[in-house]
Amino acid sequence: MLKSVILECKNKEQLIDFYSKLLNWPVVLNKDEFVRIESPETGMGIEAHYAEDYIAPVWPSEAGKQQMMAHLDFGVNDRAELQEMVDKAVKLGARIAEMQYGNGKWITLLDPAGHPFCIVIWD
């Protein structure tokens, strides 16, 4: 069972605060180099890990540039919920990516540390 996704960053408090507020998940662990939030319902977590030499990935990928290792998808039920979640993410510090795919069924954003993530209508 997958328990956690770990995201590298220079500012772990900023990044985990973003995801904590976006998902309404509490901080359950805060150590020197990482902070963890966790879903009260499932126990799935996201951790922000401090990396002094962190370089944000570019989206979409470009040859010779920092590549993303993974991205997160957050599911919603319909277009209204999609827009609500995107608006909330932007208000919390995300940026809507310039390049979009998915014909409106998902929107790609960049979190405060530059990691791409998507809000997706799950059918």
Domains of the chain: 1-53 (2.60.40.4320), 55-123 (3.10.180.10)
pLDDT at 63: 86
| Number of helices followed by number of strands (H, E) in the chain | 2, 8
pLDDT digits (tens, 9 = 90+) for 34-85: 999 999 999 999 999 999 999 999 888 878 888 877 889 999 999 999 999 9
CB 18 within 8 A of CB 92: yes
Query: What is the spatial distance between Cα 70 and Cα 114, in angstroms, rounded to a whole number?
Result: 12
Query: What is the spatial distance between Cα 86 and Cα 65, in angstroms, rounded to a whole number?
Result: 27
pLDDT digits (tens, 9 = 90+) for 77-120: 999 999 999 999 999 999 999 999 878 899 999 999 999 999 99
- Mark residue 9 as left, alpha or beta (left: phi above 0; alpha: psi -120 to 50; beta: remaining): beta
Task: Match 């014909």 to its residue by tokens.
Answer: 103
**Given 3-state DSSP classes, what are the helix, strand and coil percentages for the chain, each rounded to the nearest 5?**
20, 30, 50
Query: What is the spatial distance between Cα 42 and Cα 21, in angstroms, rounded to a whole number?
Result: 17
